[in-house]
Structure 1
Amino acid sequence: MPHTSIPLSQLKIGFIGAGRLGRALAWSLDTAGCRVHAVASRGAERAAEFAAPIAHCAQYPTQQLADECDLVFITTPDATIQAVADGIRWRAGQGVVHCSGATEVAVLAKAAADGAMTGGFHPMQTFADPAAAARSLPGSTITIEAQGELNGILLALVERLGCAANQLPAGARARYHAAAGYASQYINVVLGEAVRIWQSWGATESQALPALLPMVRGTLASIEAAGLAKGMPGPVSRGDVGTVEKHLAALGELDDDTLRLYRDLCLRSVSLAFAAGGIDADKAARIEGILREAKS
């Protein structure tokens, strides 16, 4: 039966893989009124935890799940997606989708050869805590990559989840996923550097983070309101050369790596400050010169 003839709420959805992303997405779909029909997982305990909050969600072997479901999400670790897809007999007209950000849809070639429609469905959200991720998913962006009927189904699911859709062309997934890292785990890295500098005078992480996080939230609010360039704070944004020089001198006393990272990040901020009109070309060149001359 073509997918377009099945109401979204009656579409039988299955998940192969019961990890954090799979649980968060399945629970969100169930809450949104979609029919999460079954889960398949090598770990019985994990499958039971996945299915527990969902009424009438069965725990099946992978082939039985594929036989009964109209749309299958493969939410296993990236390295196993192709092996999972290759080991199943798919059927014409069903949808087979993986949820990896970096893996190309081409790894689902076996499903496509069997006549299934294939695609990618990657929520731009963190999944350290599945329950928290499910609560924070509405309003997030989900990147989809599919064609024809499946593209329409995935767009409808994105809308049902209360999310925004980002459509990705083939071949761009690794770049897209790397870009997402700058807005997720690299925030941890940058804050880790700030905490490490605090520790240089004896402060602890538990003292530093409560001081730093409100500033992070304020910066995010500024970016949301004014954009990247005009929402950027700091000495470069206002052309404060003296403060930049003080930073370089102070961090150079700590270690070369700290100075190098500060210099590299600061150099990247100059073009944003110039675009925002906070500095002119002469001031931009002066700041860049000071930063490039700093020895690490």
Structure 2
Amino acid sequence: MKIAFIGTGNVSTALGLYFKTKGFEIQGYYSRNHQSAEKAAQLTHSHPYISPEELINDSQMIWITTPDDQIEKVARQLSELPVPQKNEKLILHASGVHSLEILNPLKDKGYQTACAHPLLAFSNPVLAQQKLNNVWFGIEKTDEENQQLTDFFNTCGNKTLSIDSDKKTLYHAAACVLSNYLVTLLNASYRMFEKSGVAKDDIQKATTPLLESVIDNLKDKNCADALTGPIKRGDEKTVSMHVESLSAFMPEMLELYTLMGKETLKMLASALNRI
């Protein structure tokens, strides 16, 4: 199968590198910024296209990996191009927030359509490619089974999640809470460490083992069982001391601390109700 990408960011470059390791031929990349297409093509030993029409004609699986806000426009533009005579091509997008309906202009022209969202934070494409072996892809439920896509991910060895079409944005919100807001929460923690007198340059290195231990705990346990700390132990005095300290030194963090504490109590109560 020949795979190509429209859009040349970290996601498409990482996916190209990854699919290449699985034995698939990476046909190339197209972008309005031809220099970025050349860069992605160079990394994947593929071709930088100067037109999307040529890319579609040369490929069997075409990924739209532009920013989310551009997918609808790209799909519409592609649907206006001449349709290949033998149209057995699959065009899919990798957005976690947009549903499959955004590709309807292409479906109406006879293309197979799908969406597959990789549950991974893409910052460096080379590092991301190394992690993709264990990544799950969010696949939208459809009335028609897309056997080509199912076989493709089976070949790659990746597992998939089935997502309700009308709850796609909720799925993406969940992914953002995990990947984006975890970073925000870490930043809040780092600020509190710094305020307590810990040297700023030491904070990240010193706390990484703690963070890694939390992630390790979660691998074999549910959230309630993996939880540690004063709320889990019922140390009300410790929590009160935290609140007093934040009120005195970092009142701007008090709302966040209180909110997280309330959510933690809800989680523990829910776990007890299931017993």
- TM-score after normalising by structure 1: 0.84
Q: 1:111 aligns with which of 106, 109, 114?
A: 106
Query: Following the alignment from structure 1 to structure 2, what is the Cα–Cα distance between the partners of residues 239 and 151?
Result: 50
Q: 2:23 aligns with which of 22, 26, 33?
A: 33
Query: Following the alignment from structure 1 to structure 2, what is the Cα–Cα distance between the partners of residues 195 and 204?
Result: 10
Q: 1:236 aligns with which of 231, 241, 247?
A: 231
**Given residue 66 of structure 2, which amino acid in structure 1 is its aligned partner?**
T
Structure 1 residue 275: Cα displacement? 4.6
- SS of residue paired to 1:100: coil
Change (3 A) 1:109 1:219: same
- SS of residue paired to 2:146: helix
Q: 2:195 aligns with which of 194, 200, 212?
A: 200
How do residues 102-141 of structure 1 correspond to structure 2 at under 5 angstroms?
A: 102-141=97-136
**Is the CA contact (8 Å cut-off) linking 1:15 and 1:40 kept in structure 2?**
yes
Change (3 A) 1:170 1:222: same
- SS of residue paired to 1:226: coil
Q: May I ask how many residue pairs the two structures share in their alignment? A: 268
Instruction: Provide the residue aligned with 1:69 in structure 2.
Output: 59
Query: Following the alignment from structure 1 to structure 2, what is the Cα–Cα distance between the partners of residues 272 and 197?
Result: 24
Instruction: Provide the residue aligned with 2:38 in structure 1.
Output: 48
Structure 1 residue 159: Cα displacement? 2.7
Query: Following the alignment from structure 2 to structure 1, what is the Cα–Cα distance between the partners of residues 22 and 129?
Result: 11
Is residue 225 of structure 1 aligned with residue 220 of structure 2? yes
**Given residue 128 of structure 2, which amino acid in structure 1 is its aligned partner?**
A
Change (3 A) 1:69 1:150: farther
Q: 2:211 aligns with which of 213, 216, 219?
A: 216
Instruction: Provide the residue aligned with 2:160 in structure 1.
Output: 165
Aligned-residue sequence identity (percent) comes to 25
Change (3 A) 1:67 1:49: same
**Given residue 76 of structure 1, which amino acid in structure 2 is its aligned partner?**
T
Backbone CA RMSD of aligned residues: 2.0
Change (3 A) 1:276 1:113: closer
Q: 2:3 aligns with which of 6, 13, 36?
A: 13
**Given residue 43 of structure 1, which amino acid in structure 2 is its aligned partner?**
N
Instruction: Provide the residue aligned with 1:99 in structure 2.
Output: 94
**Is the CA contact (8 Å cut-off) linking 2:6 and 2:29 kept in structure 1?**
yes
Instruction: Provide the residue aligned with 1:185 in structure 2.
Output: 180
Change (3 A) 1:186 1:222: same
Structure 1 residue 79: Cα displacement? 1.0
What do residues 209-228 of structure 1 show as CA deviations (whole Å, max 9, x unaligned)?
12222111111111112211
Structure 1 residue 53: Cα displacement? 3.5
Structure 1 residue 68: Cα displacement? 2.6
**Is the CA contact (8 Å cut-off) linking 2:99 and 2:140 kept in structure 1?**
no
What do residues 138-164 of structure 1 show as CA deviations (whole Å, max 9, x unaligned)?
111111126477722222232333322
Query: Following the alignment from structure 1 to structure 2, what is the Cα–Cα distance between the partners of residues 223 and 126?
Result: 18
Q: 1:154 aligns with which of 145, 149, 158?
A: 149
Query: Following the alignment from structure 1 to structure 2, what is the Cα–Cα distance between the partners of residues 59 and 237?
Result: 56
Query: Following the alignment from structure 1 to structure 2, what is the Cα–Cα distance between the partners of residues 212 and 46?
Result: 37
Query: Following the alignment from structure 1 to structure 2, what is the Cα–Cα distance between the partners of residues 105 and 27?
Result: 25
Structure 1 residue 229: Cα displacement? 0.8
Change (3 A) 1:201 1:237: closer
